[in-house]
């Protein structure tokens, strides 16, 4: 059974249409034009603002004209990640979706349910003649995944809405009323090279099969970070052997937990057997430590041809010491909200190649002062070894408002529909609501969505029955919007 045959049919067909359009962050030109054409074909007021966000406005359905105006918001871009053995061109190909029982995923790539399901939900509302709804202002933002520039550059004067429904969370029993802010830390260092020692052998270590996932929502899951694992193995191998780094390539996107890493290095022939024994020891330690979480671990070593040059021993030591010293994972749990990660850091990308050692990491916090603290901690570690450090993309968190009117409406509605209490939470992801609130200071905001698992990884999937539940709840929410 194809994706287009699922219910609600309009939503899934719009999702399939959207997923046929390449839409990586920073390259949203095609999906912007797709959304502009969509709005114009419906004869609705359609605007592209100065940064590239698309706004489509629709009058209320008959009898709903006196309800509060609602802003429906989702982001157009998606994370592009694929398995190492998957051949796929994100710039040219549409996502290859498949139905797997009650779930929909993609063939070896991210699915784009984050935030394509939200976009498709809004599209189904705009194109419908049957759904009862208040006056609507649909906001489709760009570049949410790599900097939130669409939200940052939004012109708030284009909107008159009093309530904002953000459709970008990943558990269908949750109502999100707060989120973390974040800051990117990018570093670079020009290392020294030497002639590869003649009495040495080249080796390559490859780490594959880790779960990966969203570096905000999944940071407290205890999943392995391939970059940190690789640094840990190499540091231990270097303690009793002269190890010279060559190439290190780990991780990918700034907001994804690294699933894979590869590193080549040279070690003296006299130390090779001792090094292999230590490698097996470190491999088994990691497998044992993570056996209850990571069940598809692959850590392998093989001989490789020698490069003409390798990184000097002193710089190899500096690099490994720095990578091992970095805090990675949860930094502080919230003292005020039970179970909420307040502050974290994720080492997303490490690349050593062609004379440069570069890294990308992302620090998150729902508290500005501890966001500054963890950013300072990471910056200091890199500056101590002489790296150039650039911190950018700073965006604020969204402070929870437990007295929100739309929260009260949606809590009561959830209990009425599903006969259970919803989970009212703040999340550790970087929802756009914190930034949008700066441009729309008097707007009452809430975020919700269907069950999406393994976002930002090739294992991403969305649950069909959960989308049906979410759709029912969403339609009921539109009907329940109060009179202005």
Q: Sketch out the chain's domains with CATH numbers.
A: 3-179+397-480 (3.40.630.10), 183-395 (3.30.70.360)
Helices (H) and strands (E) in the chain, counts: 11, 23
pLDDT, tens digit only, all 484 positions of the chain = 799 999 999 999 999 999 999 999 999 999 999 999 999 999 999 999 999 999 999 999 999 999 999 999 999 999 998 998 999 999 999 999 999 999 999 999 999 999 999 999 999 999 999 999 999 999 999 999 988 999 999 999 999 999 999 999 999 999 999 989 999 999 999 999 999 999 999 999 999 999 999 999 899 999 999 999 999 999 999 998 889 999 999 999 899 999 999 999 999 999 999 999 999 999 999 999 999 999 999 999 999 999 999 999 999 999 999 999 999 999 999 998 888 899 999 999 999 999 999 999 999 998 889 999 999 999 999 999 999 999 998 988 888 888 899 999 999 999 999 999 999 988 898 789 999 998 999 999 999 999 999 998 899 999 999 999 999 999 999 999 999 9
Catalytic residue among 77, 162, 184, 460: 77
- Beta strands 136-141 and 70-75 are parallel
pTM confidence score: 0.73
144 part of the active site: yes
Tokens of 359: 């890294």
Catalytic residue among 144, 184, 260, 460: 144
Tokens of 176: 């999100």
77 part of the active site: yes
Cβ 213 vs Cβ 256: under 8 Å: yes
Residue 367, preceding bond cis, omega within 30 degrees? Answer: no
Tokens of 419: 């006969």
What is the C-alpha to C-alpha distance for residues 126 and 143, in angstroms, rounded to an integer?
22
């Amino acid at each position: 059974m194809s994706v287009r045959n699922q219910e609600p049919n309009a939503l899934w067909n719009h999702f399939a249409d959207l997923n046929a359009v390449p839409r990586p962050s920073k390259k949203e030109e095609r999906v912007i034009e797709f959304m502009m054409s969509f709005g114009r074909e419906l004869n609705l007021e359609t605007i592209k603002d100065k940064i590239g966000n698309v706004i489509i406005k629709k009058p209320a359905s008959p009898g709903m004209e006196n309800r509060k105006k609602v802003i429906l918001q989702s982001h157009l871009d998606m994370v592009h990640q694929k398995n190492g053995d998957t051949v796929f061109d994100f710039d040219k190909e549409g996502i290859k979706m498949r139905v797997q029982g009650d779930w929909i995923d993609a063939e070896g790539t991210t699915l784009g349910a984050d935030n394509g399901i939200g976009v498709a939900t809004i599209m189904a509302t705009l194109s419908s003649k049957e759904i009862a709804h208040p006056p609507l202002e649909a906001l489709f933002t760009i570049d949410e995944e790599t900097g939130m520039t669409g939200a940052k550059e939004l012109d708030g004067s284009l909107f008159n809405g009093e309530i904002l429904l953000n459709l970008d969370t990943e558990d269908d029993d949750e109502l999100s009323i707060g989120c973390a802010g974040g800051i990117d830390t990018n570093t670079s260092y020009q290392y020294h090279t030497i002639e590869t020692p003649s009495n040495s052998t080249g080796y390559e270590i490859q780490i594959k099969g880790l779960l990966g996932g969203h570096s905000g929502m999944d940071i407290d899951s205890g999943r392995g970070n391939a970059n940190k694992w690789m640094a840990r193995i190499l540091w231990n191998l270097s303690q009793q052997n002269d190890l010279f780094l060559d190439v290190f390539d780990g991780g990918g996107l700034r907001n994804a937990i690294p699933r894979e890493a590869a590193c080549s290095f040279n070690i003296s022939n006299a130390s090779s057997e001792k090094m292999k024994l230590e490698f097996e020891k470190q491999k088994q330690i990691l497998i044992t430590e993570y056996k209850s979480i990571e069940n598809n671990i692959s850590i392998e070593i093989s001989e490789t041809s020698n490069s003409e040059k390798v990184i000097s021993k002193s710089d190899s030591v500096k690099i490994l010491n720095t990578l091992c010293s970095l805090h990675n994972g949860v930094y502080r749990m919230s003292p005020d909200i039970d179970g909420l990660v307040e502050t974290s850091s994720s080492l997303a990308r490490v690349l050593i190649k062609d004379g440069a050692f570069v890294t990308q990491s992302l620090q998150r916090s729902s508290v500005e002062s501890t966001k500054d603290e963890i950013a300072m901690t990471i910056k200091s570690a890199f500056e101590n070894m002489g790296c150039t450090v650039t911190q950018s993309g700073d965006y604020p968190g969204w402070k929870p408002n437990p007295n929100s009117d739309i929260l009260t409406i949606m809590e009561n509605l959830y209990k009425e529909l599903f006969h259970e209490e919803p989970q009212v939470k703040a999340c550790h992801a970087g929802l756009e609501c914190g930034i949008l609130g700066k441009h729309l200071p008097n707007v009452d905001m809430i975020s919700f969505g269907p069950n999406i698992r393994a976002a930002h990884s090739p294992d991403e999937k969305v649950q069909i029955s959960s989308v049906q539940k979410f759709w029912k709840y969403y339609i009921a929410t539109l009907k329940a919007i109060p009179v202005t």
